[in-house]
Structure 1
């Protein structure tokens, strides 16, 4: 049986993980603003705004928003690994393309998938605790 203190620690972990998962999108947003493309900034503002709204107002949509964000993270990690596999299995002669898919690329993609799965299962647990 989970008591309130354990749930609040888990809630803090979720909030920290949400913040950390938004950090790469914020960094990409800043980089892309300098080259003239505001699209990542719009995505950051959309997801960041939804998460801030959900956590500031204690809305019932909090777990839904966290599930959507975790699904996006999982999708992004799988897409990165798929792109890497595509480039490594085909004959790409350009060295700069192959150099992009190193160990850090694989680790970061795996971290995206693991973080998304953790957020998704945590949101499901929070839903089940709320229903009981």
Structure 2
């Protein structure tokens, strides 16, 4: 059986965050959602638990950082099936109240990635990789240093 991942994120405005994650393709699982948090399903194995600050504090004893002021708490990365899918996701995030290209885009022959920030400052990357191209590039690097 595949392992599931539940990313728990504190949010300032639950309704705004639900709308944001739905705009980037997540669906809300009502079974694990209420007025203090929502389970946003990104895939069969990836779930984002967006929790009000009060609810989040029930699970974490450390203070919630102001990620916009103090830096990144975590960097989350989602895979994409194409460069177009990367661009589409970042555009959707920006249109839904997020911020596009928080970090510089990565654009290589075998890899393409961009980032976005959700309305609460959590940074996400989305990355497409051509594994055959990656392996070829690794082989070229290895042969040039031999």
- Using the size of structure 2 for normalisation, the TM-score is 0.28
Structure with higher helix content: 1
Structure with higher strand content: 2
- Using the size of structure 1 for normalisation, the TM-score is 0.30
Where relative contact order (Cα < 8 A, 6+ residues apart) is larger, the structure is: 1
